[in-house]
Structure 1
Amino acid sequence: MASKASATQAKKPQGLSLHIGINEVSAAHYEGWTGPLAACEFDAHDMAALAQSRGMKSTLLITKKATRANLLAALRKAAKTLVAGDYFFMSFSGHGGQVPDVSGDEDDKQDETWCLFDGQLIDDELYYELSKFKSGVRLFVVSDSCHSGTVVRAARPPPGTPAQRPRIMPPAVGMRVYAAHKSFYDQLQNEVARHAGGRVTDPDTALAKLTVSTRLTGIVKAFHPSLILISGCQDNQFSMDGDHNGAFTEQLLRVWNNGAFKGSYASLHAHIRAGLPPSQSPNLFTLGPAAPFLKQAPFSV
C-alpha cells in the first residue's frame, strides 16, 4: 500500500513560474534610453505571490536581473524539468518594442520584442523556447506590455495621462538600437529560423489565422505543449503603466480577487477585458492542443 501511495504522490503535477518586471533598461544597450516605468516590479512580485499561493515554485527576474541570458536559462531549465501534466506560468511587465524582420516571417516586416534589461527578446525566440516544452505541459503566459502595430493597422491612440505611461519603446529609439546592434538582432532571427527548419511563423499571425497552412511552419508544427497567452492590449494599442500595477495586471488581480474568482481561462480573459477601457483590450491567444486547457480553472497546477 505504501509503495502505491508513493507512486501516486510521485505523479502529482508540479508547477513552476517565472516573473519578469523591468522598471528601467540599460542605457548602454538602448543607446542612452532607459525607459523608466513605475509598476513593473510590483507586477512581478504580485504575480509571484499569486503563483506561490497556488503551490508553484517561483523565480523572479527584476530589472537588472532580467537579462537575456537569465530569462533564456530559466525557460530552458523549466522546459527540461516539466513533464506531461505539469504547469508553467510566466508573466512579463515592461516595455514592448520592435526590430525589422529579416527572417521573412512577418507581413509587416517588424518582429515584436520584449525589452529586457540588456537587450530585446524577439517573439520568434520566445515561441521557439516555449516550443521546447514537452507534450502535455500546460503553459500560461501573461504579457503586460505594448506590441506596436504598423501603418497597415489602426492608428495609435493618445498615450494617456502622466500616471499611465505607455509600456512601449518609442519607434525612434527602437531604430537607433537596431542600427547600433543590427548584426546581433539579424543573427538572432536567422538562428531561430535555422533551428526551426526554415521560415518561422509569426505567433500573432499563426494564432489569428490558424487555417492558413502556409504560415504554419517552423515553430507551430513542432508545438506540442498547450499554451494560453493573454496580452495586455491589441497590436494597435498601448498597455498602460501605473503607480502600483500596470492597468492590465491591476485588473487581472481585481478579477482574480485572491482566488475567489470562479471560472475558466476564457472567462478570466473576458472579465479582465470588460474592466478595461476600449483603448486597451487584452487579447487571448492559444497554441497547441489548448481547448481543454481553456476550460480549466486559472492557475490550477
Structure 2
Amino acid sequence: MASGISLHIGLNQVDPAAYGGWNGKLNACENDARDMEEIARNVGFDDRRTLLTAEATVDNVTAELRRAARVLTPGDILLLTYSGHGGQVPDRNGPEDEPDRLDETLVLHDREFIDDELYKEFEAFAEGVRISAYFDCCHSESAVRAVRRILTPDAMEEQYQTRDPDRIEVTSRIMPPDEQHAVYDRDRTLYDTIQRNLQPKDTLDLPASVLLISACADNQLAADGWENGLFTGTLKEVWSEGKFTGGHKSFHREILRRMPPNQSPGLFVTGRADDVFLRQRPFTV
C-alpha cells in the first residue's frame, strides 16, 4: 500500500538581515500552508510537516526533502506546497538551462532557494515515486510593468486589494525587481557558486514523476489576499472539501477557468513519464 509525505511551506515575511532590509511582508501565506496541510490530513497523508516563516529556511526545507527521499519508495508520493514570494537570479549553469538566462527562486527566510537546488533534491527520489507540487508564488519581474499597463483600478482592487499601481509589488507575491537586483549584487558569489557546483540533471531525466501546478504564468503576478492567496483560495473552492473527483488535468482546468485572465495557473510535468499519475485525483496517496 502506498504511503505519502507532505511538506507545506508558507512565509508571511523573510529575514530583513538576509535581504538588505526588505522583509517581504505578506498576509496569507501561512494560512495557505495550514490549509494545504489540512487537505493532506483529510486525504490520508499521515506524515505531514509544516514550515512557517522563520522555520522556512534553506536548511530546514532541504532536510525535509532529503528525509522524504530516504523514506519514500516506488508508488509513494510527496506532496510539496509553497506559498511566498518568487524571485529570480541570473542563470550560471549554462546557455541552455534557462531560455531567458534567469533561474527562478523560492524566497525562503534566510536566502533564495534556486530552482536548480530543488531539482537537485528531486534527483534523490526513487524511480516510481510521485512528486505533486503546488506553488503559490510568482517569478517574473517583467510582470510588474505589464500589470500596471493592463489592469483597470477596479481590477487591481479586486485582485490585489489596491487601486494604486505602485503598491502592486506589496500585494502580489513577487520579490520586487529592485530588491532582486540588490540582493544578487550583494550575494553574487554565493548564488553563482551554488549554481556552478550543482550541475543538476535535465529535469526530464529525473527518476521520480514530478507534477507542478503553479499560481501563474512566468510573465504574470500571483495575488496575495487576507485569508488565502488567490490561487490557493481558488484551489480550495475547486477541491470543495474533497468533492472534486477528476484528474490533475481537469483540476488544473477548473482552477484556471475560475481565475482572472491576468493570473493563469500553469501545469508542468517532468521526470519519469507516468500517465496514471496525471489521471489520478489530486492528493491521492
* 2:218 equivalent to 1:235: yes
- Matched with 2:274 is 290
Rg larger for: 1
* 2:54 equivalent to 1:64: yes
Could you report, residue by residue, the CA deviation over 1:8-49 in whole angstroms, capped at 9, with x for unpaired residues? xxxx11110000000000100110101110000000000001
* 2:183 equivalent to 1:177: yes
How far is the alpha carbon of 1:174 from its aligned partner?
0.5
TM-score (norm 2): 0.90
The count of aligned residue pairs is 265
Contact preservation (8 Å) 1:48, 1:58: yes
Q: Distance in 2 between matches of 1:35 and 1:290?
A: 37
- Matched with 2:168 is none
User: Which among 28, 34, 41 is matched to residue 39 of structure 1?
Assistant: 28
Could you report, residue by residue, the CA deviation over 1:70-114 in whole angstroms, capped at 9, with x for unpaired residues? 000000110111000101100000000011111222221211100
What is the SS of the residue equivalent to 1:173? Answer: helix
Q: Distance in 2 between matches of 1:293 and 1:245?
A: 27
What is the SS of the residue equivalent to 1:284? Answer: strand
Instruction: Select the structure that is richer in helix.
Output: 2
- Matched with 2:133 is 141
Write the mapping of 1:174-213 to structure 2, written as runs, cut at 5 A. 174-193=180-199, 196=200
Contact preservation (8 Å) 2:173, 2:224: yes
Alignment identity in percent? 43
Q: Distance in 1 between matches of 2:261 and 2:267?
A: 16
Contact preservation (8 Å) 1:149, 1:235: no
Unaligned residue ranges in structure 2 (runs of 5+) = 163-170
How far is the alpha carbon of 1:298 from its aligned partner?
1.0
* 2:205 equivalent to 1:168: no
Q: Distance in 2 between matches of 1:266 and 1:154?
A: 29
TM-score (norm 1): 0.85
Q: Distance in 1 between matches of 2:234 and 2:116?
A: 28
What is the SS of the residue equivalent to 1:58? Answer: strand
- Matched with 1:125 is 117
Q: Distance in 2 between matches of 1:110 and 1:235?
A: 11
* 2:263 equivalent to 1:280: yes
Unaligned residue ranges in structure 1 (runs of 5+) = 1-11, 197-217
Q: Distance in 1 between matches of 2:4 and 2:23?
A: 34
Cα gap change, 1:226/1:34 in structure 2, threshold over 3 Å: closer, same or farther?
Answer: same
Could you report, residue by residue, the CA deviation over 1:154-183 in whole angstroms, capped at 9, with x for unpaired residues? 962238335271100011100110111111
RMSD between aligned residues: 1.6
* 2:232 equivalent to 1:249: yes
Contact preservation (8 Å) 1:14, 1:86: yes
Q: Distance in 2 between matches of 1:273 and 1:121?
A: 27
How far is the alpha carbon of 1:221 from its aligned partner?
5.0
User: Which among 63, 84, 90 is matched to residue 73 of structure 1?
Assistant: 63
Could you report, residue by residue, the CA deviation over 1:35-70 in whole angstroms, capped at 9, with x for unpaired residues? 110000000000001001111121000000000000
